[in-house]
Amino acid sequence: MEILKGLKYSKTHEWVKVDEGVAYVGISDFAQESLGDIVYVELPTVDSEVSKGDEVANIESVKAASPIFSPLSGTIVKVNEELEEEAELINHTPYDAYIFAIEMSNPSELDEMMDADAYEEYCETEASH
């Protein structure tokens, strides 16, 4: 399982990467591995306002639908339309296949997220349950 350094992670297994002030959100390798074959992603609507913890997208694996929660508050400014045709990109390259991007209204929320080391520890306790 790969945990990319330099990203922030949530307890619901989303990652965040900030690039030029915009926060890109995807799911971790741990998350895609436990979901299995991903066949469809229901993307959020661009320009919608979201709060931290909101259910904003859905990832459908063969077995089940899994909600994706926004780890940050703000406005959705971009969605990864590539995933509409190739949802399996999340399985293949989870850290490249962002799902949506947010213009943050409260960047200090980033500080509440885990760094790679803390997230690795978190996954170990999750896996042992």
**Binding to other proteins, residues 41-60 (CB under 8 A):** 42, 58, 60
Largest CA distance in the chain: 39
Q: Please give the full DSSP string across 23-74, using - where no structure is assigned.
A: EEEEE-HHHHHHH-SEEEEEPPPTT-EE-TT-EEEEEEESS-EEEEE-SS-E
Binding track, positions 59-88, relative to other proteins; x by CB under 8 A = -xxxxxx------------------x----
Between 21 and 64, CB nearer to other proteins:
64
| Shortest Å distance, C-beta 42 to other proteins | 7
Distance, in Å, from the CA atom of 45 to the CA atom of 92, rounded to the nearest integer, reads: 24
Pairing mode of beta strands 22-27, 8-9: unpaired
Residue 40 makes contact with other proteins by CB under 8 A: yes
Between 84 and 115, CB nearer to other proteins:
84
| Shortest Å distance, C-beta 8 to other proteins | 26
Between 35 and 113, CB nearer to other proteins:
35
